[in-house]
Amino acid sequence: RVFVIGSFVIACSVKVARLPQAGESLGGSAFLAEPGGKGFNLALAAHRLGLDVDGIFSVGEDVFSPVVRSTFARVGFSTDMLVPHAGSTGAGVAFIDPTGENCLAVCLGANLALTAEDVLDFAPRLQGSDLVAATFESPDAPIREAFALSRARGIRTLLNPSPVRALDPAILADTTILVLNAVEAAELGLGHPDRIAEARSATPAIAALLDGGLELLVVTLGVRGAVAFRPGSPPLRQPAFAVAAVDTVGAGDAFAAGLIAGLLDGRPLESVLTQAAACGALATCRFGALDAFPSARALEAFLEE
Ligand code: ADP
């Protein structure tokens, strides 16, 4: 079972003929409101792959509360993963023009109200899982608590530091698996994407992280695939699958879910990475993220092709 320190965002988008200007009120041709958030996407992608998923998600007490509950029920998640907090549910608004150009703003709202105490309330459930995963759409304090609880029981922890911010040393000390994209790796000073893509050995910053106790560090590079670093082994390269990508939103979440599923299966890293890349590729073949995450059966069929 995987336990996700979750985040939840209602992503609203309006299709417009051109992006609006300050002070302007523009008519849109279509409106879409989709559940998302990195934590939710990761949880959902893992669930689609057949993993038993539990977690904790902070949501507001607003017009979206019933929507969150019905969404969880619809995708097959228990609503006992939800923790209500005062304020607004995480939400974002985007304008998209016919060329695909967009401008957007996201307010994480209640996601930022998740506390270490909330996590402590879930300690028995969290400590009954095989892997605990978190993204940076949650604040440091609850992640720190969750990873400390995990470490105390020898449970593996996976951190996807997205959207990127400085790594809290206490979180890092209790992280066993770090998965991040090239932009995040560069922001965290782990090395230029080209250097990582062609690495024959870990960059000094990556080597330092591995010496600090990380079991596995994976940098995803979009169409260039991914590179995995482990202590004492040369980097392992995983090419991306050639697919007709239409929308790369959710690729990273699907990749991480595939990685988790493979690791929990106890498979060799080569096969785990292949499966993760297949999940990432499949997620790019459909619009949006929600319907794009592959099922275990779709993944198997894709890998057999
Ligand atoms: P993020 O979505 O977090 O920015 P990436 O863009 O690096 O992450 O994508 C994660 C993984 O998904 C990649 O390592 C790759 O395996 C797969 N992937 C992403 N984009 C494509 C694509 N256009 N074609 C095939 N696979 C892709």
Q: Calculate how far, in angstroms, residue 181's C-alpha sits from the geometric centre of ligand 1.
A: 9
Q: If you average pLDDT over residues 133-156, what whole number do you get?
A: 98
Whether the complex's predicted ipTM is more than 0.85 is answered with: yes
**Residue tagged 């005062």 (tokens):** 86
Contact 281 CB / ligand 1 (< 6 Å): yes
pLDDT digit string (tens) for 83-139? 999 989 999 999 999 988 888 899 999 999 999 999 999 999 999 999 999 999 999
Report the predicted TM-score, pTM, of the whole model to 2 decimal places: 0.95
Report whether 252 belongs to an annotated binding site.
Answer: yes
DSSP string, 178-207: EEEEHHHHHHTTS--HHHHHT-SS--HHHH
Q: Ligand 1: which of 135, 219, 284 to mutate, most ligand atoms within 8 Å of CB?
A: 284
Average pLDDT value over all residues in the chain: 95
At residue 288 the predicted structure's pLDDT band, cuts being 50, 70 and 90, is confident
Contact 241 CB / ligand 1 (< 6 Å): yes
At residue 71 the predicted structure's pLDDT band, cuts being 50, 70 and 90, is very high
**Domains of the chain: residue spans and CATH:** 2-17+28-304 (3.40.1190.20)
Residue closest via CA to ligand 1's atom 3 equals 252
253 belongs to the catalytic site: yes
Cα 181 off chain centre by: 11
CA atoms within 13 A on the CB side of 284: 18
Own/partner long-range contacts of 42-45 (Cβ < 8 Å, ≥24 apart) = 42/4, 42/133, 42/135, 42/160, 42/253, 42/256, 42/257, 43/2, 43/4, 43/6, 43/77, 44/75, 44/77, 44/290, 44/293, 45/250, 45/253, 45/254, 45/256, 45/257, 45/258, 45/279, 45/283, 45/293
Residue closest via CA to ligand 1's atom 22 equals 223
Q: Calculate how far, in angstroms, residue 9's C-alpha sits from the geometric centre of ligand 1.
A: 21
Q: What pLDDT score does 261 carry? A: 98
Statement: residue 246 has pLDDT above 90: no
- Residue whose C-alpha is closest to residue 171's, from 127, 204, 213: 213
Statement: residue 72 has pLDDT above 80: yes
